[in-house]
């Protein structure tokens, strides 16, 4: 062995050791609830005036600004009881109020953040979620669950290894206490859109997507976004003005295949879009399953519309609310694999 190869080997070993040490020190977040992401650790009595939090660092792991309240389960507002979905505490963001937490992430990786929110007054509430330079304004005026709580998702690509996750209520209401409740903030690293052999669509089975809280029955809403934003559903884009699609799990919903599916809860006001590279003049076949999530919407005549280039398919589905599914555009309820033309699907009810 020559001296040159020996010294090259030493260098390689050193690099490896440095790499491991750097990764251990970075302590990037792991999938699941953020530290004190459910706000169960709260302020000391001396840092509260009634329900209002009076010190910026009173809630462990979080930093607050503006009119932030610390809400206990069962607390009343006028005659309405404010429920808390997980544990015993949540926060409420009044006008222009913010909660934020510093995240350690892996640079250049993709992440999605999921959090629970509920409105407390009737006005059109919005939440401005930002992670570093990326931000999105999520409309929360439409309630999609019977509990009043929904989980919202937001995705980003980490430009730095430490980033502030900020949830901000940009509202300016007369009653400063009229703001959304926030509970349970979680994060999940997203894998690149998985591609199945023989399927040109990426993440066609929707198996990769935002974090869903295992104890909740309301999935996670995926908001509309601009083309260049990161979608919590890798491979797909949600197209709409203010409406969402609902990402659901097999534990609480009927899912025809795999562990995840998408429920088109907003009717024709929201569409799922994916761009596929094709060769002009060639023929392509597309198959998909249409069903209901098994959440009791009985005797509803539904239609899914699919478009690809200039071709359109309308796929009717008669829901019994019990979680059946059929292939598109076949009307036989058992067949799952048939053909249609599609790059985009919307429902009408
Ligand atoms: C608590 O809030 C009330 C109402 O805003 C205010 O009048 C009072 O001075 C506050 N108390 C303290 C100790 O800051
Ligand atoms: C949302 O937050 C971002 C970053 O904090 C800010 O630049 C943007 O103006 C905010 N948008 C609204 C509507 O408040």
Alpha-helical segments (H) within the chain:
3-26
User: How would residue 328 be classed by pLDDT, with cut points 50, 70 and 90?
Assistant: low
CA of 83 to the centre of ligand 2 (A): 28
Task: Report d(CA 173, CA 349) in Å as an integer.
Answer: 34
Ligand 2 pocket, mutate which of 97, 125, 135, 136 (most atoms under 8 A from CB): 135
Which pLDDT value is given to residue 53?
97
Per-residue pLDDT at 20 exceeds 50: no
Q: Which atom of ligand 2 is found nearest the CA of 126?
A: 13
Residue 13 phi/psi, 5-degree rounding, is: -60, -40
Other residues' Cβ atoms within 10 Å of the Cβ of residue 275:
12
Atom of ligand 2 nearest to the CA of 128: 1
How much is the mean pLDDT over the chain?
81
Kindly give the distance from the C-alpha atom of residue 128 to the centroid of ligand 2, in angstroms, as a whole number.
6
Q: Which of 208, 309, 318, 304 is nearest to 264 (CA)?
A: 304
CA of 97 to the centre of ligand 2 (A): 12
Whole-number Å distance, alpha carbon 61 to ligand 2 midpoint, is 22
State in Å: Cα 66 to ligand 1 middle. Answer: 15
Exposed, middle or buried: residue 334 (CB in 10 Å: 0-12, 13-18, 19+)? Answer: exposed
Please tell me the least confidently modeled range out of 72-76, 152-156, 326-330, 344-348: 344-348
pLDDT confidence bin for 22, thresholds 50/70/90: very low
Q: Is the peptide bond before 198 cis (omega within 30 degrees of 0)?
A: no
pLDDT given for residue 139 in this prediction? 82
From 124, 125, 128, mutation site for ligand 2 pocket: most ligand atoms within 8 A of C-beta: 128
Of the two residues 162 and 313, the one the predictor is more confident about is 162
Q: How many CB atoms lie within 10 A of CB 6?
A: 9
Asked if 106 contacts 39 with a C-beta cutoff of 8 angstroms, the reply is no
Phi, psi for residue 18 in degrees, rounded to 5:
-60, -40
pLDDT in tens, 208-221: 999 999 988 899 99
The label of the residue with tokens 């062995």 reads: 1
Model pLDDT for residues 256-265, shown as the tens digit of each residue:
888 999 998 8
pTM of the model: 0.83
Least distant ligand from the CA of 135: 2
pLDDT band at 61 (very low <50, low <70, confident <90, very high): very high
pLDDT score of 55: 97
Protein residue closest via CA to atom 10 of ligand 2: 128
pLDDT digits (tens, 9 = 90+) for 118-140: 888 766 788 999 999 999 988 88
Distance of CA 181 to the CA centre of its chain: 17
- In whole angstroms, give the CA distance from residue 169 to residue 125: 8
Let me know if 190 is exposed, middle or buried by CB neighbors in 10 A (0-12, 13-18, 19+).
buried
- Give the C-alpha separation, 316 to 285, whole Å: 19
Token pair in block for residue 237: 């884009």
């Amino acid at each position: 062995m020559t001296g040159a190869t020996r010294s090259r080997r030493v260098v390689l070993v050193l690099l490896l050791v440095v790499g491991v040490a750097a990764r251990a020190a970075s302590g990037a977040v792991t999938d699941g609830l953020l530290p004190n992401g459910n706000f169960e650790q709260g302020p000391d009595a001396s840092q509260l005036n009634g329900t209002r939090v009076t010190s910026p660092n009173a809630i462990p792991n979080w930093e607050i600004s503006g009119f932030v309240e610390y809400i206990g389960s069962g607390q009343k507002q006028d005659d309405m009881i404010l429920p808390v979905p997980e544990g015993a505490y949540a926060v409420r963001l009044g006008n222009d109020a913010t909660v934020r937490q510093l995240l350690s992430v892996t640079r250049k990786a993709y992440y999605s953040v999921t959090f629970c929110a509920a409105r407390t007054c009737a006005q059109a509430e919005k939440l401005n979620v930002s992670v570093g330079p990326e931000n999105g304004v999520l409309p929360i005026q439409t309630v999609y669950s019977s509990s009043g709580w929904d989980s919202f998702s937001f995705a980003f690509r980490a430009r730095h290894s430490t980033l502030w996750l900020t949830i901000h209520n940009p509202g300016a209401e007369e009653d400063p206490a009229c703001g959304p409740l926030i509970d349970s903030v979680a994060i999940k690293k997203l894998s690149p859109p998985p591609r199945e052999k023989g399927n040109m669509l990426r993440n066609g089975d929707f198996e990769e997507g935002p974090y869903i809280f295992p104890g909740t029955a309301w999935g996670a809403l995926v908001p509309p976004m601009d083309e260049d934003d990161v979608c919590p559903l890798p491979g797909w884009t949600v197209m709409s003005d203010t409406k969402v699609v609902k990402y659901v799990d097999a534990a609480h919903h009927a899912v025809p295949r795999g562990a995840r599916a998408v429920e088109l809860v907003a009717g024709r006001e929201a569409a799922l879009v994916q761009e596929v590279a094709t060769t002009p003049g060639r023929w392509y076949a597309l198959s998909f399953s249409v069903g209901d999530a098994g959440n009791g919407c009985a005797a509803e005549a539904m239609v899914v519309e699919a478009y690809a280039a200039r071709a359109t398919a309308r796929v009717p589905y008669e829901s019994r609310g019990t979680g059946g599914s059929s292939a598109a555009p076949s009307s036989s309820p058992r067949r799952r694999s048939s053909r249609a033309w599609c790059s985009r699907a919307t429902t009408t009810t």
